[in-house]
Amino acid sequence: MISQFPPVRQRPLLFLPLLVALAVSGGCAVLKPDPNPAPAAADSDPESSVGVAITDLDSVPELILPADTTAPLLPLGPDGYAGLADLEAMLATAMELGAEGAWDEAEDHLFVLRDEARRPAPAQADSTWLAHRRSIDRRVGLLRAVLAEQAAFGADPADADSLLSTGYGVLLAEGFPDSLVPASGARLSSITADLMKFDNKAVRRWEEYFTGRGRRSFQTWLDRKAEVGPLIEGILVEEGLPRELVYLAMIESGFSTRAVSSASAVGPWQFMAPTARDYGLRASWWVDERRDLEMSTRAAARYIGNLHEQFGDWALVLAAYNTGGGRIARKIRQHGHDNFWDLRLPAQTTAHIPKFIAAARLGADPARYGFTVPDGPVLDYDTVPVDDATDLALIARCAGVGTDDVLSLNPALLRGASPPDLKAYPVRVPSGTGPRARRELARVPSDKRLTWRRHEVRRGDTLGGIARSYGTTVGDIARLNKLKDVHMIRPGDQLLIPMPAELATKAQQRASEKGHYVPPSGYERVSYKVRPGDTLGGIARKLGVTLAHLRKVNNIHQTNLIRPGQRLYAYRPPSG
C-alpha cells in the first residue's frame, strides 16, 4: 500500500558528513563560468533562466573534475528493468562512497539510479512495486540535495549562498522536482515540512493576486477568520491536525456557510452530498449540516485525517480534498511517482495548493502585506437540545434575543425550525442565553409550541382545504411558503404547514381520512419515472417501499394503471 512508504522528506537527514560541490550531472556539467556570457534576450522571462532566478553564477569558484568519471553499470533483468534489490544496493553503495569521500563516484551512482527510477513502469508492476521505486527516487533526489547543501555549508560561510545556488541550479536544469527546492523567508509551523517551503511562480502569482486585484476579497476573508477562526482551529487541533488547515476553508468558501459551488458542493468546507453522508452530515429538506460550521469542520477534519493516512503528504492531501482521493491515486499510478508538482491534474486542482500556500503565508503575517485584522468578538454560542420541529422564533423568545440572532447561528436549519423526528437536536443560541432558553422552552405547553408538517399538493387541492385539514389558516401557510398568489399551487408542490404540536397528530388523521397521504415528520420524498415494462411491484422494490405505500401515496387503485413517463412518488425515513 502507498501509505507504507511515507514521503522521505519527512524523515530526519542522517547523511550529514557528506562534503561535495555538487555541480556534476552524470559525469558532465558546466562548472566554470563563461568569461563572456551572452546577454539575455530582451523579451525573455527572467524566471525561465536558472542562473538569473537563483543567483549570479559568476561568483562560483572553478572546480576540477576527475579525469575518469565512468558511470557504474546496473544489472538489468530479462524484462529490461533493474531489480529493486539492485537499486537499493547501488543506493547503499553511493552512500558508502560519499561517507568515504569519493564524491564523484557517489554522484555517478546517483545519476544512474535517478534515470532508472524514473523509467516508465513495466506492465506487470503492482502498487507495492511502484511505491518502492518511488521511495528510491525520493531518496536519490533527497540525497543529491543533501550533497548540494553540505557542499555549501561545509565550505567558507561567505561562499555558502553561491555554492548552494549553483548546486540547485544544476538540479533544476535537469528538471529536478520542485519539491526539494528550498524557499527563502520566514517559516511557518506544523505544515511547513510539506508545503510552506515552496516559493515558486505559482505561489507568487497568488500572493500578487491577493495583495493586488483580490485584496478586498482577502481582507473580507481575514475579517471572517477573526470571528470563526478560533472555533475552526480549536477543532483541528482536537483532531490532531495542523491549525494552518483553517486556510483550506478560507480558499474553499471564504468561510461562508451559504457557499454553493457550480458542482453543488455546499458550506464552508464545500462538501459534496455523498462525502457528507459518509462523514455523518445530514442533508435533507429540513436540514443541511454541511452549512453548520462546527459539524462540517469536525467532518472535514476526519476526512482530511483519512486522506493523510492514505497519501502521507500534505500537497497530495489537499489535492485529493479538491478533486477526490480516487483521482489522485490513479494519477500516482499512471505517473509512477507521487510528487504533486509533477502530476498532471485538472487546472483547478493544480492551482489549489499554490493558492493555499499563498493564503496561509499572508494570513500568518497580514500586517506585513498591508492587511488589518479586526479586534472584534469571536463566534461563541450555547446549545439548546430540541425535540421535534420547533419554530426558531419561539426559541429566540425563550432565550430573550432576536429571531435573527438565532437564525444566523443556525444556517443548517433550512426551514426556520429544528428538524422533526430527531431527539435533542442542538439548536445554537447566543452565548450566555442557553440556560434561560432551556428553562423557558420547558415551560411552553405542547399546545402552544408551534411545530411543522410538510404537505404535498395533490390534484384538486386548494389552499383553504389544506389549511382546514391541518387546523391553521391560509394566511399562515402563504406567509411561511412565500406564496404571492394563494391560487398558484400545483400538484407535487411541497408546503410547510405551521401548527400547534397537539394538533399535528389529529390533523394528520383528518388529512388521511380525506384521502390525502401525509408522510410522517421528517420523511424524505423520492420519485421514479415509469419506463416501458415496469410493474408497480418492481418500482416499489427499487424505491425501497411497500406496494401498499406506493399505491396509497399515488392514489392508484389498480396495479396495472401506470404508464411510461408517469412519475410516481414515495416517502422514506430520513437518511443519517
531: left (phi over 0), alpha (psi -120 to 50) or beta: beta
Q: Do domains 201-369 and 523-576 have the same CATH topology?
A: no
Per-position DSSP letters for 15-47, written without gaps between them: -TT-------BTTB---SPPSSPPPPPTT--GG
Q: For 402-422, what is each residue's pLDDT tens digit?
A: 999 999 999 999 988 888 777
The alpha carbon dihedral of 309, 310, 312, 315 has a sign of: negative
- CB under 8 Å to 193, separation ≥6 — which residues? 9, 10, 314
292 and 301 Cβ atoms separated by less than 8 Å:
no
pLDDT of residue 77: 66
Q: Regarding the domain delimited by 201-369, which CATH topology (the fold level of the hierarchy) does it fall under?
A: Lysozyme (1.10.530)
Q: How far apart are CA 422 and CA 383, in angstroms?
A: 15
pLDDT of residue 253: 96
Q: Where are the beta strands (DSSP E) in 250-298?
A: none
pLDDT of residue 167: 52
pLDDT of residue 353: 94
- 3-class state of residue 572 by DSSP: strand
Please give the chain's pLDDT, 576 residues, in tens. Answer: 333 333 333 333 334 333 333 333 333 333 333 444 433 333 433 333 333 232 332 333 333 333 344 445 666 666 667 788 888 888 888 888 877 767 677 777 887 887 777 777 776 667 677 778 778 878 887 777 776 666 555 555 445 555 555 555 554 444 444 444 444 333 333 576 567 778 889 999 999 999 999 999 999 999 999 999 999 999 999 998 999 999 999 999 999 999 999 989 999 999 999 999 999 999 988 899 999 999 999 999 999 999 999 998 899 999 999 999 999 999 999 888 888 988 999 999 999 999 999 999 999 999 999 999 888 889 999 999 998 778 898 899 999 999 999 999 999 999 888 887 778 899 999 999 999 999 999 988 766 666 677 788 888 888 888 888 777 788 888 877 888 887 788 888 888 887 665 445 455 555 565 566 667 655 777 889 999 988 888 898 899 888 888 888 887 876 567 888 888 888 887 654
Distances (CA, A) of 27 to 22, 65, 169, 316: 11, 8, 16, 34
DSSP-assigned letter for residue 283: B
Q: How far apart are CA 425 and CA 385, in angstroms?
A: 5
Q: Which three cell numbers stand for residue 242?
A: 495542523
DSSP-assigned letter for residue 449: S
Q: Where are the domains of the chain?
A: 2-182, 201-369, 381-443, 523-576
DSSP-assigned letter for residue 549: H
249: left (phi over 0), alpha (psi -120 to 50) or beta: alpha
HSE value, Cβ hemisphere, 13 Å, CA-based, for 425: 23
Span 523-576: which CATH code?
Answer: 3.10.350.10
Distances (CA, A) of 191 to 138, 246, 298: 19, 12, 19
- Alpha helices, H only, 336-418: 347-364, 392-399, 403-409
Per-position DSSP letters for 528-546, written without gaps between them: EE--TT--HHHHHHHHTS-
* Chain-centroid distance, C-alpha 262: 16
- Please give the backbone phi and psi of residue 52, each rounded to the nearest 5 degrees, phi first: -75, -40
Distances (CA, A) of 197 to 32, 202, 335, 523: 30, 13, 24, 51
276 and 283 Cβ atoms separated by less than 8 Å:
yes
Q: Which three cell numbers stand for residue 281?
A: 452530515
pTM of the full structure = 0.55
206 and 218 Cβ atoms separated by less than 8 Å:
no
Distances (CA, A) of 528 to 200, 224, 427, 571: 52, 43, 34, 12
pLDDT of residue 448: 66
392 and 427 Cβ atoms separated by less than 8 Å:
yes
